[in-house]
Amino acid sequence: MMVEPIRETASPIVAAQDARPPVIEISALGKTFTLDSGPVVALESVDLTIRKGEFISFVGPSGCGKSTLLNMVAGLLSPSQGEATLNGARIDEPSRQVGFMFQTAVLLPWRTVEENVLMPAEIFGTKTQALREKARSVLEAVGLGEFLKAYPQQLSGGMQQRVSPRTLTSEPDVLLMDEPFGALDEFTREAMNMELMRITQAAGITVLFVTHNITEAVFMADRVVVMTPHPGKVSGVVDVDLPRPRDIGQMQEQRFTDLMFKVRGILGHG
């Protein structure tokens, strides 16, 4: 267990979160890829404790190891050093308690939107009427209620991307997001982010959110993990003490701007 840093601005919200049990504990986690040209350090020793219901943003330029980190927490990639645990158990394979939202929606063209959303349930063997209702409500939340029976190729690219939150259908405890709305226009993206924040906060889902957008990272998170490349590593963690529920208006506040510049400062172009 690492020692939590003392916070300069211990707001009641952050203090309450600290009382929650840790869900994911990352200790000395690193990844080195062996290429023909020699070993490449993708991620250098990371220590991080994530508590239940926390929203953590990982922000940094490409090559900073944020996706590598996420893939290791997902159990899709085995670490070279250290380990990550989920509820105390070492992660060495994917878990059904963990949902993963990819950069693209990954829709199979021979399945309707609804069938695509229900595919994990088919694999889990949990495809029930209740789950169908859940899938419907998730799709309605992202504005695709009318397109349940449509095939993906009948939807626009942006609409396809909006199917990404389907992971929520299986009610995961932890949600990993790898820039899932990267291809969306800014307005839709903002709306999707707000909706996602509402759902995960209400359900107490722990979120690890990877992005290269600083504004988004700060606005969504309880803590922003700032990462830098060559080699990929964590350069700092910024506590976001803005009260919840968040609304767009908070972006105008001085505190928000300060936090953004704090992140920028760590990234090295403040």
Partner 1 sequence: MAKSAALQMGQQVGASFQNGKKQEDLRYRLYSLAIIIVILAVWEIAPRLGLVSPIILPSFTAVVGALISLMQQDFFLRHFSVTLTEIVVGFVLGTSIGLVLGIALAVWPAAKRIAYPFVVGFQAIPKIVFAPLFIAWFGFGMSSKVVMAVVVSFFPVLINTMVGLESVPAEARKLMRSIKATPLQTFRKVSLPHALPVIFAGVKAALTFVVIGAIVGEFVGASEGLGYLVELYKNQLRIDRVFAVIVILAAIGAGGYFLLEWLDRKLIFWRSDVEGK
DSSP at 6: P
Residue closer to partner 1, measured from CB, 57 or 170? 170
Exposed e or buried b per residue across 242-263, where buried means at least 16 C-beta atoms within 10 angstroms of its C-beta: beeebeeeeeeeeebeebbebb
Cβ neighbours, 10 Å, residue 187: 8
Q: Please answer whether residues 181 and 164 qualify as being in contact, where contact means their C-beta atoms are separated by less than 8 angstroms.
A: yes
Q: How far apart are CA 158 and CA 139, in angstroms?
A: 14
Among 8, 36, 93, 185, binds partner 1 (CB under 8 A): 93
Residue 167 is classified by DSSP as G
261 binds partner 1 (CB under 8 A): no
Q: Least CB distance from residue 92 to partner 1, whole Å?
A: 12
Sign, CA torsion 198/142/220/99: positive
Binding piece for partner 1, criterion CB under 8 A, among 22-30, 99-107, 199-207, 255-263: 99-107
Burial status of residue 152 (CB atoms within 10 A of its CB: 0-12, 13-18, 19 or more)? buried
Q: Residue 161 or residue 228: which is nearer to partner 1 going by CB? A: 161
* C-beta closer to partner 1: residue 98 or 263: 98
**Residue span 48-87 as binding mask against partner 1, x where in contact by CB under 8 A, dash where not:** --------------------------x-x-----------
Three-state DSSP state, 38: strand
In the bound complex, what is the minimum distance in angstroms from residue 168's beta carbon to partner 1? Answer: 13
Binding residue for partner 1, selected from 53, 79, 120, 180, defined by CB under 8 A: 120
User: Of the candidates 87, 103, 126, 201, which one interacts with partner 1 according to CB under 8 A?
Assistant: 103
Select from 2, 124, 128, 247 the one that contacts partner 1 (CB under 8 A): 124
Among 7, 33, 110, 186, binds partner 1 (CB under 8 A): 110
Min dist CB 97 to partner 1, Å, is 11
Residues 143-202 that bind partner 1 (CB under 8 A): 143, 146, 151, 153-154, 170
Q: Which position has the token pair 């990993």?
A: 176
Q: Strands, E, within the chain: which ranges?
A: 22-35, 38-51, 55-59, 81-86, 89-90, 98-101, 174-178, 206-211, 223-228, 233-239
The stretch near partner 1 (CB under 8 A) out of 26-34, 89-97, 240-248, 251-259 is 89-97
Cβ–Cβ under 8 Å, residues 29 and 79: yes
d(CA 225, CA 263): 9
Please identify which residue in 94, 157, 243, 268 interacts with partner 1, judged by CB under 8 A: 94
Compute the least distance from the CB of residue 258 to partner 1, in Å: 37
- Residues engaged in binding partner 1 (CB under 8 A): 74, 76, 93-96, 98, 100, 102-104, 106, 108-110, 119-120, 122-124, 143, 146, 151, 153-154, 170
